[in-house]
Amino acid sequence: MSNQSERPWSEDEKYALLTEILKKAGISSTYLVRLINDFRINPNWEHIPLPHGISPTKT
């Protein structure tokens, strides 16, 4: 029987872990937005769940 912990992490699991690390790191959202802009990351807003009542244009 294979040990579940020996399997490779999926990309979704890696993203979930990275998200939790960023949430707990105490890094300001302003700095994270600057990183996103500096790396020219263009979110696909149609595929990103947003909090209820929030649009991508609100900050």
The per-residue pLDDT for 6 is 85
32 CB-near residues (< 8 Å, 6+ apart) = 22
Residues 10-35: pLDDT tens digits? 999 999 999 999 999 999 999 999 99
Tell whether 50 is covered by a domain.
no
Tell whether 59 is covered by a domain.
no
Which residues form the domain of 27? 10-44
pTM for the predicted model, two decimal places: 0.61
Tell whether 16 is covered by a domain.
yes
H helix intervals, the chain? 11-24, 29-38
Cα 47 from Cα 42, distance rounded (Å): 12
48 CB-near residues (< 8 Å, 6+ apart) = 56
Tell whether 58 is covered by a domain.
no
Question: In the chain, how many domains are there?
Answer: 1
SS3 43: coil
